[in-house]
Structure 1
């Protein structure tokens, strides 16, 4: 199968490229050429920049399938699909759970959950925020479906975790748990959490293409339900340490603290349709161990997520004083 990946050298795209090559697919990558230049020697690369609307490199060639990992704005999707025309078979768009409404959702919700109203007014990726990211992705979904119909496939991942993750969200908990000891948690340790291993997401995407399967699919994990406290303890066990979770005031945390959410039902979505289509389930302990090994191999650079050591120590001292 000839697959074109829009992206393919950073995190999720990289995992999908690796999986496609393992399956013997004939791969082409499209991107700006700024990252991962050493990856995938021998794989053809088309250079362009979706942010600036430069998709000229897509005007030649044909592919059995396209995986869009880098479409965030409707104009980006429109530019790519206009350049590709009908020279592609299936178009798989990587969307997000952020497309869904946030109120009135029950645990176990499936892909029929109502979406937020699509928006098209955001012109630059850097202008997306919590209020517009999901609605912009919803508009992208609509455009892919309108253009390709039954040749469109939508995958909506939850929080993706794995090696090479640039977000630091899961990595911050892996690294903190590896230090062991008392861990400050500005949230409910019983809060449900769903993360999906990037390699499971990649296997699902490639399997959907190989099976030429249309539809919309949740990519969530792990297979066994877990909580935020359970995730932290699993990360500690993977590192061979022990932790004591210490609740601290939620207001002590900056906005969007790693994996802390108030919409608990949004962390309990059903993966039944994706599992039936081939979504695998890497154990959370394996994901944690692999992220820890990758993080240590890269030298554990400063993280942008979570508390600093000084911030956490201050909160832990306050918590100890309040408990006397």
Structure 2
């Protein structure tokens, strides 16, 4: 089968291309060519240059590739989803990469078709900011559902927060840096914070599984099959890095304004959990978190950890731990 991956060179798109290749697909990637192409020497991957926000460019890619499957990794505004579902109305499967951030209600767990989605105003639909990300993804989901009502084989996959090799956000690297550079590591709260994570490999497997077996008009949550508390996650990162560290938990009073817990990657005040039963029912075969974390740590150590901007200052974290040790 022929697959077109819109995006395809960075993180989720990159792993999706590899997943498709591993399952016998001929793959084309469609993007502006602004990032290095990791598949430049791969004869089974064709690169088509164009701007996904330009409908005529999408149409040209359709005519050139004639794909059976389209995986849309870089649709960030609802209008882009509406355009893509029209251009690729006749494919066997159009799969939109949405987000767990599309959910607008705090429930445990969040279920497809039950938990309310974020509303999206006309202004939010074109506002390229972090604050409107969930609303824009939710409106993209609604565009998928509308397309399915018109007979398009369109589906949505909603990953929770994603980690893995080639993650350019630096969120995972924050924790690798802490466990290899420090004997004591600060963990906000009591260590039981729960933010459902998704290995990038599991997301790629989900995208292929939904393309092959999903039902048009449906959304499918994806996150690691087993959830980890923040302390469990950090301990696995330390084990994978061969580091022996002490975890130091600290509540709001102990943090005393020196460390903003909301700036700590993967910390969340209220649990964010996605139900993945609908995806599992399609035959999705996920990687265990221990395996995914080990691979991600190895990649981070090989490249050198580069923590995300805006994360807490290590010196401020040390001050908190020093006070707790008094």
Q: Which runs of 5+ in 2 are unaligned?
A: none
Report what 2:319 is aligned to: 317
Counterpart-to-counterpart distance in 2, 1:302 and 1:174: 8
Rate the CA distance shift 1:225–1:147 in 2: closer, same or farther, 3 A.
closer
SS in structure 1 opposite 2:92? strand
Whether the aligned pair in 1 keeps the contact of 2:194 and 2:228 (CA below 8 Å) is yes
Query: What pairs with 1:1-324 in structure 2 (closer than 5 Å)?
Result: 1-40=1-40, 41-42=42-43, 43-51=45-53, 55=58, 57-58=60-61, 60-61=63-64, 62-82=66-86, 84-103=87-106, 105=107, 107-111=108-112, 112-122=114-124, 127-130=128-131, 132-149=132-149, 151-211=153-213, 213-214=215-216, 215-221=218-224, 223-248=225-250, 249=255, 251=257, 252-253=259-260, 255-264=262-271, 266=272, 268-301=273-306, 303-304=308-309, 306-307=311-312, 311-324=313-326
TM-score, L = length of structure 1: 0.87
TM-score, L = length of structure 2: 0.87
Counterpart-to-counterpart distance in 2, 1:124 and 1:254: 30
CA RMSD of aligned residues (A): 2.4
SS in structure 2 opposite 1:102? coil
Answer with 86-95 or 35-44: which moved more: 35-44
Rate the CA distance shift 1:58–1:188 in 2: closer, same or farther, 3 A.
farther
Counterpart-to-counterpart distance in 2, 1:56 and 1:122: 27
Whether the aligned pair in 1 keeps the contact of 2:29 and 2:48 (CA below 8 Å) is yes
Whether the aligned pair in 1 keeps the contact of 2:30 and 2:50 (CA below 8 Å) is yes
Counterpart-to-counterpart distance in 1, 2:36 and 2:79: 25
- Cα deviation, residue 8, structure 1: 0.8
Counterpart-to-counterpart distance in 2, 1:305 and 1:203: 31
Answer with 93-102 or 112-121: which moved more: 112-121
Q: Which runs of 5+ in 1 are unaligned?
A: none
Per-residue CA deviation, residues 34-59 of structure 1 (Å, 9 max, x unaligned), is 22324252222221123566545335
Per-residue CA deviation, residues 78-97 of structure 1 (Å, 9 max, x unaligned), is 33334x25342211111011
Counterpart-to-counterpart distance in 2, 1:274 and 1:256: 31
Residue-pair matches, total: 313
SS in structure 1 opposite 2:130? coil
Whether the aligned pair in 2 keeps the contact of 1:109 and 1:269 (CA below 8 Å) is yes
Whether the aligned pair in 1 keeps the contact of 2:100 and 2:274 (CA below 8 Å) is no
- Cα deviation, residue 15, structure 1: 0.6
Counterpart-to-counterpart distance in 1, 2:104 and 2:89: 33
Per-residue CA deviation, residues 90-144 of structure 1 (Å, 9 max, x unaligned), is 11111011111234x1x2332121111133424656x3222x1111111111112
Rate the CA distance shift 1:155–1:302 in 2: closer, same or farther, 3 A.
closer
